[in-house]
């Protein structure tokens, strides 16, 4: 019996075993084997969003660029040296790149060299077939059409390890916004990449689309961004700031739109594109004296100087400490405490009312006002906190919440700061008297200065300053008004004083025919540590202004490091910017030339020459 049916039984047993095995191979849900080998996944990138200025001028577009790709598995022996020469690479670097590609994956493509120019690509295409396993792939990089506003626009770069770790969207070799608008609006600008699937054969060659391209995922389009920046004004402001350190911020007060944001010295976005980008970046990063990557308009914290007097005037009026007729007598300064004298540039015996105090920038007037504000309350703590509360309502001492990812808070001292320093209420208005004239502990950034000037121009509110007007067609402008703690009626007298500053006060140079400009100069004492010795440097020149005073269209804040008087650099620059913006044409060519050609480079070199130097010349 066994002999007769041996074959039949064996056939049945073998069939059952086979079917069980096939069931475990084909029907088990956990796919132990995957078919990654057979399908090549390629990312399809939507074109990165374009960037326009407020008037529709194209600022940033895209240009084709090429990458040299290796698939290690497909290479055969080749001459490393000749490939290195062909691609202008260092042979060691080339070897290192190839080794790291091999370590990454033998089957997957890796980038050996990216951002190869169109011209270089044309040259390489003819030779690359000599090197099996290498090919050139087209992609696109940014094309910065106007070489201005780089500090606002920022730049893109290849994703680093952190980017990939933080966001699984990104893969090795992809581009990401690294700074500025490119960074802040990365999600809008990048769009969403799609996927294309190809069928490969066992030699890793693509033999056609997979599944008739039905599995492919279409990329979704990137969004275009319209900035609030006026590129012509930006260009003009940048030209005015050449060879000077500092910042300019111009804002349209009714909307909070930033018209111009200059930081000088700065970089150019196109330095981050192309073959020399790494070298350029290192150069910029290592320039510890000029700090071109440091945005002085957003990140530099200075003492505000005399423009602070305007705020103290407003607080004084609001608190009822002074009114428009209040007068103080200045004796080229005054004793604010025993043996403590605060000097003033006003001559002995000057009697000032509020307007005159403002346009002559009288230290005495505002020191007295400040003391009134603080001493109104029982304890200096209460007085100071009330004062700080007013100040902060102008957006000082905190991030403004604008749409760039860099910035500084600045500093507005409050009672606990002094309490910690001197002991509980063992200090007073005279101890903190520097606050009255914008020296001492207060720190502000140029954009904060522009912002509080905006609040004054608007007679009591500001709109959060911002850089983007529209994303595609969606307007970004409906923003809330932030009201200050100062009543509207208190602004007029102060603004009158600011108009006087330009008409007959410290900033007569800023006068523009036919436009009433309101402004306030500042001359800011500053110090540096040289070999552990505190040394005073030439004062910073600063100016805030808006115009026309009765219905402001533009607010400008200018800060020029070590420029001495506010009227020497900052006021003319602000005035030229206002003229350019409101009249489109600058008549005062002599002033323009003086500003464009004027250089403070020698001034900046003084502390680094290691010899004695004089300041405020």
Partner 1 sequence: MNKILKYDLISLITYALIATFGIINIYSSSYTESFTSIFDYRTLVGKQLTFLVVSLISGLIIIFTKSKFFDNIASLVYFLSLILLISLFFFGVERGGAKSWYILGPISFQPSEFAKLCTALFLAKFLSIIQTDLNKTRDIIFVGAIIFVPIILITLQPDPGSALVFLAFIFPILREGLDLRFFYFGIIILSILILTLIFNFFISSVILSSIFLIIILYRRRKRIRLNFIKSSISLLFLVSISFSTNYLFENILEQRHRDRINLILGKEVDDKGIGYNINQSKIAISNGGLFGTGFLEGTQTKGDFVPRQHTDYIFSTIGEEWGFMGTFSTILLFSILITRIASRAEKQPIHFRRIYCLSFSSLLFIHFFINIGMSIGLVPSVGIPLPFISYGGSSLLIFSIMFFIYLNFDSSRLKED
Cβ-proximal residues to 495 (8 Å cutoff; 6+ apart), any chain: 456, 459, 518, 549
Q: Name the minimum Å distance from CB 137 to partner 1.
A: 22
Identity of the residue, 11 or 475, whose beta carbon is nearer to partner 1 in the bound complex = 11
Per rule CB under 8 A, is residue 22 in the interface with partner 1? yes
Q: Which of 113, 146, 200, 368 binds partner 1 (CB under 8 A)?
A: 200
Per rule CB under 8 A, is residue 26 in the interface with partner 1? yes
Cβ-proximal residues to 7 (8 Å cutoff; 6+ apart), any chain: none
Per rule CB under 8 A, is residue 459 in the interface with partner 1? no
Per rule CB under 8 A, is residue 107 in the interface with partner 1? no
Identity of the residue, 32 or 527, whose beta carbon is nearer to partner 1 in the bound complex = 32
Closest CA to 440 of 255, 306, 243: 306
Number of residues that this document lists for the chain = 617
Q: What CA–CA distance (Å, rounded) separates 436 from 100?
A: 61
Closest CA to 406 of 449, 471, 467, 474: 467
SS3 171: coil
Per rule CB under 8 A, is residue 339 in the interface with partner 1? no
Torsion of CA 581, 360, 506, 536, to 10 degrees: -110
Per rule CB under 8 A, is residue 337 in the interface with partner 1? no
User: Please, which of residues 33-52 interact with partner 1 by CB under 8 A?
Assistant: 33-35, 37-39
Per rule CB under 8 A, is residue 19 in the interface with partner 1? yes
Per rule CB under 8 A, is residue 1 in the interface with partner 1? no
Element (H, E) at 604: helix 601-605
Closest CA to 229 of 404, 61, 406, 479: 404
Q: Which of 43, 82, 85, 211 binds partner 1 (CB under 8 A)?
A: 211
SS3 327: coil
Q: Name the minimum Å distance from CB 96 to partner 1.
A: 25
Return the range that interacts with partner 1 (CB under 8 A); candidates 203-211, 234-242, 483-491, 596-604: 203-211
Q: How far is CA 395 from CA 125, 247, 323, 399, 478, in A?
A: 57, 18, 24, 8, 19
Q: Name the minimum Å distance from CB 15 to partner 1.
A: 4
How many residues bind partner 1 (CB under 8 A)? The answer is 36
User: Please, which of residues 248-267 interact with partner 1 by CB under 8 A?
Assistant: none
Q: Name the minimum Å distance from CB 209 to partner 1.
A: 11
Identity of the residue, 27 or 529, whose beta carbon is nearer to partner 1 in the bound complex = 27
Cβ-proximal residues to 457 (8 Å cutoff; 6+ apart), any chain: 253, 518, 546, 552, 555
Identity of the residue, 95 or 205, whose beta carbon is nearer to partner 1 in the bound complex = 205
Q: What CA–CA distance (Å, rounded) separates 608 from 129?
A: 55
Identity of the residue, 8 or 529, whose beta carbon is nearer to partner 1 in the bound complex = 8
Q: Which of 201, 276, 398, 605 binds partner 1 (CB under 8 A)?
A: 201
Closest CA to 602 of 286, 239, 244, 240: 244
Closest CA to 403 of 547, 564, 293, 256: 256
Q: Name the minimum Å distance from CB 98 to partner 1.
A: 20
User: Read out DSSP for 59-105?
Assistant: EEEEEEEEEEEE-GGG-----HHHHHHHTT--HHHHHHHHHHHHHH-
Contact 313, 370 (CB under 8 A): no
Identity of the residue, 20 or 340, whose beta carbon is nearer to partner 1 in the bound complex = 20
Identity of the residue, 30 or 126, whose beta carbon is nearer to partner 1 in the bound complex = 30
Based on the number of CB atoms within 10 Å of its own CB, is 510 exposed (0-12), middle (13-18) or buried (19 or more)? buried
Q: Which of 32, 590, 608, 610 binds partner 1 (CB under 8 A)?
A: 32
Q: Which of 77, 162, 202, 288 binds partner 1 (CB under 8 A)?
A: 202
Q: Which of 148, 184, 210, 462 binds partner 1 (CB under 8 A)?
A: 210
Q: Name the minimum Å distance from CB 121 to partner 1.
A: 29
Per rule CB under 8 A, is residue 71 in the interface with partner 1? no
Contact 357, 328 (CB under 8 A): yes
Identity of the residue, 122 or 206, whose beta carbon is nearer to partner 1 in the bound complex = 206
Q: Which of 2, 286, 610, 612 binds partner 1 (CB under 8 A)?
A: 2
Contact 73, 104 (CB under 8 A): no
Q: Name the minimum Å distance from CB 113 to partner 1.
A: 29
Q: Name the minimum Å distance from CB 108 to partner 1.
A: 15
Q: Name the minimum Å distance from CB 135 to partner 1.
A: 20
Per rule CB under 8 A, is residue 104 in the interface with partner 1? no
Identity of the residue, 7 or 529, whose beta carbon is nearer to partner 1 in the bound complex = 7
SS3 407: coil
Q: What CA–CA distance (Å, rounded) separates 584 from 339?
A: 53
Q: Which of 27, 420, 589, 597 binds partner 1 (CB under 8 A)?
A: 27
Return the range that interacts with partner 1 (CB under 8 A); candidates 18-26, 150-158, 297-305, 316-324: 18-26
Q: What CA–CA distance (Å, rounded) separates 353 from 250?
A: 30
Q: Name the minimum Å distance from CB 71 to partner 1.
A: 15
Interacting residues toward partner 1 by CB under 8 A:
2-4, 6-8, 10-12, 14-15, 17-19, 21-23, 25-27, 31-35, 37-39, 199-202, 207-208, 210-211
């Amino acid at each position: 019996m066994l002999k007769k049916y041996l074959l039949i039984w064996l056939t049945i047993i073998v069939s059952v075993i086979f079917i069980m095995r096939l069931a475990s191979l084909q029907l088990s849900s956990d796919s132990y084997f995957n078919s990654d080998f057979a399908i090549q996944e390629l990312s399809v990138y939507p074109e990165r969003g374009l960037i326009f200025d407020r008037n529709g001028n194209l600022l940033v577009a895209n240009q084709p660029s090429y990458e040299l790709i290796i698939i290690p598995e497909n290479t055969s022996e080749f001459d490393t040296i000749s490939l290195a020469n062909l691609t202008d690479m260092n042979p060691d670097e080339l070897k290192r790149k190839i080794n790291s590609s091999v370590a990454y994956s033998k089957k997957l493509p890796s980038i050996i060299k990216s951002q190869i120019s169109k011209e270089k690509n044309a040259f390489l295409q003819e030779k690359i077939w000599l090197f099996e396993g290498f090919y050139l792939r087209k992609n696109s990089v940014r094309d910065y059409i106007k070489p201005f506003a780089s500090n606002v626009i920022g730049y893109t770069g290849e994703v680093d390890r952190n980017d990939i770790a933080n966001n699984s969207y990104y893969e090795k070799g992809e581009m990401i916004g690294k700074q500025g608008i490119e960074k802040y609006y990365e999600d809008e600008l990048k769009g969403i990449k799609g996927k294309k699937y190809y069928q490969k054969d066992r030699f890793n060659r693509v033999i056609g689309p997979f599944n008739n391209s039905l599995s492919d995922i279409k990329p979704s389009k990137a969004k275009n961004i319209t900035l609030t920046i006026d590129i012509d004004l930006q260009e003009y402001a940048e030209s005015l700031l050449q060879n000077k350190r500092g910042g300019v911020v111009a804002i349209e007060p009714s909307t909070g739109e930033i018209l111009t944001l200059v930081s000088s010295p700065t970089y150019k976005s196109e330095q981050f594109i192309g073959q020399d980008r790494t070298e350029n970046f290192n150069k910029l990063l290592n320039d510890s004296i000029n700090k071109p990557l440091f945005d002085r308009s957003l990140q530099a914290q200075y003492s505000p100087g005399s423009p602070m007097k305007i705020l103290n005037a407003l607080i004084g009026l609001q608190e009822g400490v002074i009114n428009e007729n209040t007068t103080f007598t200045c004796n080229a300064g005054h004793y604010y405490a025993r043996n403590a004298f605060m000097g003033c540039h006003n001559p002995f015996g000057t009697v000032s009312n509020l307007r005159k105090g403002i346009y002559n920038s009288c230290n005495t007037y505002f020191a007295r006002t400040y003391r009134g504000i603080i001493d109104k309350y029982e304890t200096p703590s209460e007085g100071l906190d009330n004062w700080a509360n007013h100040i902060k309502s102008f957006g000082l001492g905190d991030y403004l919440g604008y749409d760039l990812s860099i910035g500084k808070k600045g500093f507005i001292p409050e009672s606990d700061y002094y309490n910690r320093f001197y002991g509980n209420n063992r200090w007073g208005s005279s101890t903190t008297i520097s606050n009255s004239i914008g020296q001492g502990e207060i720190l502000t950034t140029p954009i904060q200065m522009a912002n509080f000037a905006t609040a004054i121009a608007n007679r009591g509110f500001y709109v959060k300053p911002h850089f983007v007007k529209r994303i595609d067609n969606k307007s970004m402008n409906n923003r809330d008004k932030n009201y200050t703690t100062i009543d509207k009626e208190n602004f007029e007298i102060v603004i009158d004083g600011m108009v006087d500053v330009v008409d007959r006060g410290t900033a007569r140079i800023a006068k523009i025919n036919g436009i009433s400009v309101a402004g306030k100069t500042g001359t800011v004492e500053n110090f540096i540590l040289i070999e552990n010795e505190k040394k005073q440097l030439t004062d910073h020149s600063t100016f805030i202004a808006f115009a026309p005073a009765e219905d402001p269209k533009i607010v400008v804040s200018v800060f020029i490091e070590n420029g001495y008087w506010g009227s020497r650099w900052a006021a003319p620059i602000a005035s030229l910017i206002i003229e350019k913006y409101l009249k489109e044409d600058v008549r005062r060519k002599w002033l323009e030339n003086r500003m464009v050609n004027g250089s403070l480079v020698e001034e900046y070199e003084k502390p680094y020459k290691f010899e004695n130097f004089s300041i405020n010349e």
